[in-house]
Structure 1
Amino acid sequence: MLNRSYTSRQELEQHTFSPLVTLFVPLLAIFLQAFVPKLLPRFSLLDLPLIVVLFFAVSRRSPIAGTLTGAVIGLLQDALTNQPIGVNGMAKSAIGYVAASIGLQVDVESPLTRILITFIFSLINSVLLFLIDHRLLGLPDYHLFWGHELIRACANTVVAIPIFFLLDYTKRTE
C-alpha cells in the first residue's frame, strides 16, 4: 500500500547556510558591485547583490528571512555606492519577500525557474528603483530605458545561473 506524507513543501526543502557563507557571499557581492565598476565600467550592468538576495530568499523559503536579507544587503550596497541610503534596501527587501514567498509555492531548483525568476526580478528591481528615485525621492534626472533594462536583466540572468549552481554546494538541509 502506498504511504503518502502530508508534510509541507516548506518543511521538506528549507535550507540553511553556514555563518561563514551567510556573511562572506553577500559581502563579496557588495564589494565587487561597489569597486569593480570603477575599473571595468561595463560591470555596472550587473547587480550581484540582487542575485545573492534572490538565491538566499528562494533557498531559505522564509519571507521574513528574505525581507531581512534584502534589507541588509541593500543597505550595505547603498552605503558603498552613490545611491541615497535606503533605496536599494527598500527595493531588495520587497524582492526578498516576494522571492521567498514564491519559493514556498514553486520548485526553485529547476534551471528554467531560476532563469525566469532572475530575469523577472531583475526587471522588477529596475522598476522599484525607478519608482523610489523618481516618485518617492523626486529625482527628475532618473529615467528608465527599457532596452537597457532588458539587456541588464539578460546579463544578470546569464551570470546568476552559474552563481546559483556554485552556491548550491553551500546549502545545508534542515
Structure 2
Amino acid sequence: MPRRPFTNRRELEEHSFHPAVLLAVPLCALFLNAYLPRIWQPLSILDLPLIIVLYFSIAWRNPIAGTLFGTVIGLLQDLPGNQFIGVNGIAKSVLGYAAASIGLKVDVENMVTRVAMNFVFCLLQSALLYLIQSILLGQAEAHPRWIHELIRAAINSAVAIPIFLLLDRTRMDTVL
C-alpha cells in the first residue's frame, strides 16, 4: 500500500474506538448522572456526560463529530430531568465543537492540558446554561452561584482524570 508523503496533524492523531465503547460509555455516564444523585444528593455536582463529550471530542479532533456527539448526549441528558429538552443539547454541542477545534491546535495528550480544558469547559457550560435559561427561555429566576460553579468545575476536573486514563486504554490507534 503506498504511503502518502504528507498528512496533517489531525489525520496523524485521530483516535478511533470500538463501537461498543462508543455506545456503552455514554449510556453508562447518562445512567450514573441520572441515578447517583438519587442515592446521595451531593453527587448531583458531577456532570459525567460533559466529561465524556469532552474526552471523545478531543480524541476525535473532528468538530462536526464533536458537535453531533455533544448534541446527542445533551439531548439524552435532558430526558430524565425536569427542564426543557434541548438546553443541555445546545450547551454540549457548543462545547463538543470547541473541544474538538482546540484539540486540533493544542497538544491534548498532556494530562495537565486535559484537566485545564475540563475545568474551563465546565465553567463555560455553566455560563452557556445560564445564558440559555435567562435569554432564550426568559427564566428570570436563573441565577448562577459562581463559587458553587468553581467548586463544581474543580470536582469534575478531578473526577475526569481517572475517567480519561481509563478511556485512553480503549483507543484503537492506527498507524498511517
TM-score by length of 1: 0.95
Give the Å deviation of 1:102: 0.3
**Residues 16-70 of structure 1: per-residue CA shift (max 9 Å, x gap):** 1111000110000011111110111111111000000000000000000000000
Distance in 2 of aligned mates of 1:82 and 1:39: 18
Residue in structure 2 matched with residue 105 of structure 1 by the alignment: 105
Residue in structure 2 matched with residue 131 of structure 1 by the alignment: 131
Amino acid at match of 2:24: F
Amino acid at match of 2:57: A
Amino acid at match of 2:119: F
**Superposed structure 1 runs of 4+ greater than 6 Å apart:** none
**Residues 79-123 of structure 1: per-residue CA shift (max 9 Å, x gap):** 121221000000000000000000011111101100110000000
Gaps of 5+ in 2: none
Residue in structure 2 matched with residue 84 of structure 1 by the alignment: 84
Residue in structure 1 matched with residue 165 of structure 2 by the alignment: 165
Distance in 2 of aligned mates of 1:32 and 1:90: 21
Gaps of 5+ in 1: none
SS in 2 for 1:80: coil
Residue in structure 1 matched with residue 58 of structure 2 by the alignment: 58
Distance in 2 of aligned mates of 1:52 and 1:62: 15
Distance in 2 of aligned mates of 1:96 and 1:52: 10
Residue in structure 2 matched with residue 23 of structure 1 by the alignment: 23
Amino acid at match of 2:9: R
Amino acid at match of 2:105: Q
1:1-80 aligned at under 5 Å gives the runs: 6-80=6-80
Amino acid at match of 2:89: G
Distance in 2 of aligned mates of 1:164 and 1:100: 15
Distance in 2 of aligned mates of 1:10 and 1:49: 24
Give the Å deviation of 1:7: 2.6
TM-score by length of 2: 0.94
Distance in 2 of aligned mates of 1:40 and 1:83: 21
Distance in 2 of aligned mates of 1:16 and 1:82: 34
SS in 1 for 2:131: helix
Give the Å deviation of 1:6: 4.6
Amino acid at match of 1:126: S
Residue in structure 2 matched with residue 118 of structure 1 by the alignment: 118
Residue in structure 2 matched with residue 144 of structure 1 by the alignment: 144
Amino acid at match of 1:51: I
SS in 1 for 2:143: coil
Distance in 1 of aligned mates of 2:15 and 2:60: 5
